[in-house]
Amino acid sequence: MNLSDLKSANGARKERKRVGRGHGCHVKTAGRGMNGQNSRSGGGKGPGFEGGQTPWYRRLPKYRGFNNPNKTVFQLITLSMLDSFEAGAVVTPEVVIERGLVHRTNRPFKVVANGSLSKNITVQLHAFTQAATAAIEAAGGKVEVL
């Protein structure tokens, strides 16, 4: 058996109805009905036409301002999340992902000062707020920016 021997099942393929091509092909109205917008040539308005109502793409507010495509969006890690590590631990991006503390693993991590930290740990992540750095160092830990 070859691919060239394959044939469609009976009734699987149907020729399209050629309308409006003279007598013998759906005579007179060519399958469009008698009157109305869609019976005229060019009468069927294209996609997005809502019968004269202002279409949704014109009702939406216009975007204004500047959108920086190169901005860095961080995945935030709080001090209370870091408090779950044991004392003396080294916190790296791999460890954070392994523990399941973040949802998006494709973004750089930033530590923010939300909550409190009571253990001395070494944190090696991408960014820190000033308050988070002060809190980590006050607990006896170290901050290392990657």
- Tell me the per-residue pLDDT of 97-111, one tens digit each, with 9 for 90 and over: 888 888 888 889 999
Residue 51 pLDDT: 85
Residue 12 pLDDT: 93
Q: List domains and CATH numbers for the chain.
A: 75-145 (3.100.10.10)
Residue 85 pLDDT: 86
Q: Which amino acid is at 60?
A: L
Contact between 28 and 19 under an 8 Å Cβ cutoff? The reply is: no
Residue-wise pLDDT for 45-91, tens only, equals 888 888 889 999 999 988 888 888 898 899 998 988 888 888 888 88
Q: Sheet of 90-91: strands edge to edge?
A: 90-91, 122-125, 142-145
Residue 3 pLDDT: 92
- Work out the number of other CB atoms within 10 angstroms of the CB of residue 141: 21
Chain mean position to CA 7: 42
Distance in angstroms (rounded) separating the CA atoms of residues 82 and 123: 9
Residue 99 pLDDT: 85
pTM: 0.55
Distance in angstroms (rounded) separating the CA atoms of residues 79 and 116: 5
Residue 100, CA distances (Å) to 36, 96, 118 in order: 61, 6, 21
